Amino acid sequence: MSNTTHTVSCTVTAAKTALSMGSGSLEVFATPAMSALMEKAAAELLQQQLPDGDTSVGTQIEVWHNAASPVGATVTATAELLSFDGKKATFALRAQDEFGPIGEGSHTRAVITASRFMDRLAQKKPVQK
């Protein structure tokens, strides 16, 4: 695998705050928004390695959100590929803003064939109560 790290960034907007996302009461970068940015970095990194028709889905994520980021800050998330066996990939995750580190974590993704996955999803039926 040629690329083992990938970085993505976003600006903290009102829509990405804990208050707006319902994960807290303050206008600071929400933990779910940080987690999503970290997962995006991992998904984009893995997608570069997959053949057409294949994609990946997140199966596990564990994050620590260690510092707050204000509205207007730029948050950068980096995923580092730790292992990939062709079916499952694991990543180390880091996030920071212009003030320093804000979070870290780990993530696992499973490789799937998109069309087969969506066909199975269309077959799902509600659980009988």
Q: Which of the following is catalytic: 27, 31, 44, 76?
A: 31
> What distances in angstroms separate CA 124 from CA 18, 44, 53, 99, one per listed residue?
33, 28, 22, 46
> Is 39 known to be catalytic?
yes
C-alpha 5/C-alpha 91 separation (Å) is 9
Q: Which two structure tokens, joined as six digits, stand for 37?
A: 């940015």
Q: Which of the following is catalytic: 65, 78, 107, 108?
A: 65
Q: Which of the following is catalytic: 7, 11, 27, 39?
A: 39
C-alpha 80/C-alpha 58 separation (Å) is 15
> Is 31 known to be catalytic?
yes
C-alpha 65/C-alpha 101 separation (Å) is 9
Active site residues: 31, 39, 65
